[in-house]
Homo-oligomer: A and B are copies of this chain.
Amino acid sequence: MMRYLSRQGGREEGAAQAARTAPPTVEETNVTSAASAGLANDPVALIADKALWIRRRSFQMVYEAQLGHPGGDFSAADILATLYFGVLRHDPSNPRDPGRDRFVMSKGHCTGAFYAVLAAAGFFPEAQLTTYMQPLSKLNGHPNRNYLPGVETNTGPLGHGLPVATGIAIAGQIDNAEFRTFVLTGDGELQEGSNWEAALTAGHRKLENLTLIIDRNRLQQGARTEETASLDPLDDKWRAFGWHVEVLDGHDHRALYEALSKSPKGRGKPLCIIANTFKGKGVSFMHDNVAWHHGVPNKDQYEQAMRELA
């Protein structure tokens, strides 16, 4: 495990390792100035920097492909940046290391942000991002494990990530392994019953090595969640299914970092983080706007967004 970026309060190799895992390609891009040695010593500053880069880069991908789900990319960007630059112990040069922390991207439609963070973390060259959704690209509209290192399971249909992540966490539980399993779902996605099956099993087995992060942007594809099939009181639901629940601001890097990097040892329950977010966060005309679930920008919109994302 020496080669992983370690968590706060974790092992000695900490900050130095963090600097080492910063992928070379990222430093070369014009949309980020991240990963200097200084920033690497302050995970939250690094995370903030990466989150901005993810927003910019994913929006560029969506603009160029004229396809994508930028609203959900933006609500998830801070969560993804925190995971990949502050929390996950992973080694891009050995993406199937049995001891790695797992991250399952259940909201598989948000490949803009997901591919961007994987590239930023060094799983594949940033240049590959320009092939997003192009013919024969490995950057499919939804992530494919057999195309790209860093993808744990193929997602796209909602409600698949948590059940698979539960299985991964059970493997870790059986082996008494150190690795943690994280999964990010949308909130509308929780209307799929498959999640509640897995919730029961994870609660029953007290999978403390499993962390679910809910991107609680309160919007699904066509409308607000509470107007469609209301999820509140969402915290009570998870508690009643045997989970420990924390509610936080999903755009607050420090709050995310602290909640996610805390050791799960002794919690005795799986952890559900309800991350309150906004769809389209970061760009004024996309903010909390359902039209941007799968909207794609025209030139003016793209340019305005890039000005705002600075």
A residues adjacent to B (C-beta < 8 A): 191-197, 200-201, 203-204, 228-231, 233, 236-237, 239-242
Contacts and interface: CB of A to CB of B under 8 A. Distances in A.
B201 A229 contact: yes
Nearest to A159: B193
Contacts of A192: 193, 197
Contact of A200 (B191, B200, B239, B242): B191
This chain's copy number in the assembly: 2
Contact of A193 (B194, B203, B237, B242): B194
Which of A233, A240, A242 gathers the greatest number of chain B CB atoms within 10 Å? A240
A195 to B, nearest CB: 7
A200 B241 contact: no
Nearest to A237: B240
Q: Secondary structure at chain A's binding surface: helix, strand, loop or mixed?
A: helix
12 contacts: A193-B197, A196-B196, A200-B229, A203-B230, A204-B228, A236-B236, A236-B239, A236-B240, A237-B237, A237-B241, A239-B240, A240-B240
A233 B200 CA distance: 11
A122 to B, nearest CB: 37
A230 B230 CA distance: 25
Which of A193, A194, A231, A233 gathers the greatest number of chain B CB atoms within 10 Å? A193
Contacts of A203: 230
A238 B153 CA distance: 32
- Which 8 interchain pairs have the tightest Cβ spacing? A193-B193, A236-B240, A196-B196, A193-B197, A237-B240, A200-B229, A240-B240, A204-B230
Contacts of A204: 228-230
Contacts of A194: 193
Nearest to A163: B193
A200 B234 CA distance: 11
A202 to B, nearest CB: 10
Nearest to A197: B193
A208 to B, nearest CB: 16
Contacts of A240: 233, 236-237, 239-240
Contact of A195 (B191, B193, B230, B231): B193
Given A191-B197, A239-B240, 16 more contacts: A191-B200, A192-B193, A193-B194, A193-B195, A193-B197, A196-B196, A201-B229, A203-B230, A204-B228, A204-B230, A230-B242, A233-B240, A236-B236, A236-B240, A237-B241, A240-B240
